[in-house]
Each structure stands twice: as structure tokens, then as C-alpha cells.
Amino acid sequence: MQQRHLQMIALAGTLGTGLFLGSGKAIVHSGPAGALIAYCLVGSVVWGMIQSLAEMMCYAPISGGYIHYAERWLHPSAGFALGWMQWYSGVISLPTEIVSASIIIGFWDIDPAIDDIPRSHLIAYITVLSVVCSLINYFGVRWFGEAEFVFAIIKILLILGLIIAGLVVDLGGGPDHKRIGFQYWKNPGAFAAYPVDGSVGKFTGWFTTLLQAAFSFGGVESLAMACAEVENPRANIRKAARLLFYRILFFYVCGILIVGMLVPYNDSLLLNSTGDGAAASPFVIAFNRAGIKALPSIINAGVLSSAFSAADSGLYSTSRMLYGLALRGQAPRIFAKTLKNGLPIVALSFSTLFITLSYMSLSNGAQTVLNWLSNLTSIATFICWGTICVTFLRFKAGCESHGIIRAESKYFYNRFQPFPAYWAIFWCFVVVLFNGYQVFIKGMWDTSDFFIAYINIPIVFILFGGHWIFAGRKSFPKGSELDMYSNIPGPEVDVDLHPPTTKFGKFFRWLL
């Protein structure tokens, strides 16, 4: 991949249905202020995690990314557990996005007789999207990079347009000229109570929204999977990590702020929404009421590209995870087989098989499947972020023990470390431990919800313990025992192979 591919993926690669459609659910559960605080908090956790990951990536831009770092600098069993957890989390997310994209297409294909998408049409949409998503990845990393570059531009234009249009409508610039301002922060209020009433409900509603925010941010760590396949990796990784702060601030924080200004949390359309298309977007609800009728189809097209892009990038990252595990002997060696152009054909083919889980929606109901899979993925995301930050602390200890002065790095160094890592670890631990609080409220026990909330914890311990037992029961290495030198690319990879030659190209390079 070239520099422009990685920068656009970093800027908008994981913008998807979690933000465009899921923001309505966030407002319903916690209110506009609660949702804003939740997205700011999760954004700060993501920033702390990326600060930790980027420094390790710039030091060692190698295949396997954060999974290899966990194996190398934390513990071999930690790398094994994290790798397999992230792989299964990634492959079960693939059908989530494919089903989302299929339902979004159905926005234009509702049968009035049944008030739903015809079953045969839904099967066709799922099949076509699955085939196209797979082909893009089979064509190789250059095709994947170009596809994600185009999708990123579409998503950036969409979110910019929604934020600007939302602000115009809020200030009374719509056809109805009704000024909204912050009136919904006063009536019905800034915080919503969920799932119980009162002050406790407002706190638990905010806490619930943390998971929704995590699903919106999920995937930012996948930058590490691409670091071995990008030109001039250290310089481009540094730029990508720095872009993330502005992405969090503008796209996510400004986006959720505008949403909270446009629609009240007790809006009947939000409360009754099934979350399956543009009609579920709070932007569409607000624009329709303002008399702007053309935007729903435009938004739907943009959200469709977002959902498809998320599936496309998810297939890319999961295939590279499995390939990296195989290279290090933590997965069957057959998954390390590549074509002449370096494409991990077996790992990609095996990961692609899980797209067929999309057809589960045909029998169990799309929304049930989507909620179940997305919740399961959100918890795995927090476990992954926390593990990355713990790995960074061990990386830091290794540098100190080997006399490596991190502050002298010309590519990436954060003088506030390790505090960003500690901050991210704390909140990841809190969310993972208490995310299933709702089932412990009197009268609200649900075995399925309990399973979704906590199944990842025993899975991680089983993976770690099983590998630890069968791999020789190694203890956690000391800082002086960590491998800080072998197989790490030198300065020969830090070469700009495609320097800009035009004024526009130089401006674009400066901008990104």
C-alpha cells in the first residue's frame, strides 16, 4: 500500500454503521450529554491505546502487528490468546456488516404487501456483497488499498455533509426555518435513564453507551495489521497515528454532539426504530421533520458504502491475523502459505468462509443476530485495547533494560507515557468487568445477555492457559530477557518510493 492508502484508512477506515446508525441508540440509552461524554471517554481510551501501539509499530513495523508484539514483549501465550480472540471476533463481525449492508439496500426494495424486504431479494443482496467483498481481497493488497481509499472519501464526505447539514437545520436553516438549538438538552433533558429510573438509571444508561461507542470505534487498532505492507512504514504510521486525534474529535465527538442537538432521546421514531437502514438514523429523522426529503436516499447510499467497507477491511485484517499466527507456529502451518505476490491465500480463504454466517439472519431475525454479534465484538475490543497497552508497558520496560532511549526516536514518542496507557487499561478493565451489570438488576436476569457479556473472559483464559500448558509453562519474561532486536527492519525500509511531484500532490501529502 502507498502512503495515501494508509492515511485514508486511518482517517475513515472504521467509520461505519456504528456511528451513522448506532448513534440513535446511544442517544436513547443515555441522552445527548450522556452520549457525548461516553464517546469522549472512549475516544480518550482509543487515543491512549493508539499512542502505545504507534510507538511499538514505529519501532518494529513487522507482520502480525499487535499480536506479534504481545507474543514478543508480554508473553507467548498472551500473543496466542489475543491473536485467536481477535481473529474469531473479526470473523463474526464480517456477517454483521454484510447483513447490515443487505438490509440497507432493502431501503429501496420494500414490498408493500409484507412491509419488508422480500426474502429472495435479501438472499441475493447477501450473496452479491459477500462475493464482491471476497474478490477485492483476493485481488491483493493494492486493490484493497484502492477500494478502501474510495470508500474513505465517500465516508468522509458523508460525515462532513451530515455534520454541516445537521448544524444548519439546528440553527433554523432548513425549509421549516425552525431553530432547535439545545432545547432537547432541556426538554426532555441532557441525560436519559436506562434501564432503570432515577439517577442510577442515568449513570447505567451512560455506562451502557460505552459499549455502543466501542463498536463505533472498533477496528482502529487494525492499522497494525497493515504496517508490514505499506511503503515507508515508520513515517506513514506516525502520520496515521497523529490523524487519529482529529478523527476522534471531529467525526465522532462532533457527530454525536450534532445528533444530540437534532433529536430528543424520547423521540418515538428513535424508540421504535429497528436500526436497519437510513430511517434509523437520527439525521434522517431530523431532516425529514425539517422538510428535507431528498437526503434519506443519499445517506442510505453513504451508509451502505460504510457497512461494505467495514466488511472489506475486516476480511483483510482477519486473514492477516491468521497468517501471522501461522508464521509464528501458533496456527496450522498451512495458513502461512502465500501466492507469489505474497497474498496469504489459505488464511484468506478460511476467513472468507465465515461470511456465510450472514445467512443466519434469514431464520433468526436480522436484528437479533446483529445485536448479539456486535455486543460480543465490543467486549473483545476492550480486551484487545487493554492488552495492547499492557504490552506497551512491557515494551517500555524492555527498552529501559536494554538501554534504548525511547525519547531519541525520530518517528514516534509520547512524553506523557505511560499515563495514557494506564488510563486506557483502567477503563478497559472497568468495562469488561461490569459490562453485564444489567442482568444482575432484580428481575432482569437473562442467560443469553450474561453469556454475551462475559463469554470472552473465559475464552481468553482458556486460550492463554491451554497454550501455556502445552508450550512449556514459560514464566513472564523480565525486561532484560525481552527480544528488542531480532528481525526488526532497519532504516532501509524507511524510503519514500512515491514522492509527490506536483503541487496538488505535495499539498495532499502535507494534508495527510
The enclosing H or E element of 94 equals helix 76-105
Query: Does 48 have pLDDT greater than 70?
Result: yes
Over residues 162-168, the mean pLDDT reads: 87
Least confident stretch, 12-16, 67-71, 368-372, 434-438: 368-372
- Which pLDDT belongs to residue 40? 92
**Separation between Cα atoms, residue 326 and residue 110, nearest integer Å:** 45
Q: What value does the mean pLDDT of the chain take? A: 83
Residue 34 grid cell: 450522556
Residue with cell 461524554: 37
pLDDT at 163 over 90: no
DSSP-based three-state secondary structure for 274: coil
Does the pLDDT value for residue 105 go beyond 70? Answer: yes
pLDDT of residue 225: 66
pLDDT digits (tens, 9 = 90+) for 271-281: 666 555 556 67
pLDDT band at 223 (very low <50, low <70, confident <90, very high): confident
Q: pLDDT tens digits for 387-412? A: 999 999 999 999 999 999 999 888 88
pLDDT at residue 231 in the model: 75
pLDDT of residue 202: 92
Max CA distance (Å), the chain: 72
pLDDT for the residue 160: 86
- DSSP lists the bridge partners of residue 116 as 111
The pLDDT value recorded for residue 464 is: 93
**What's the whole-number mean pLDDT along residues 3-15?**
65
Which cell numbers in the block locate residue 64?
A: 502480525
pLDDT tens-digit map of 470-505: 887 788 899 999 999 988 888 887 777 767 777 776
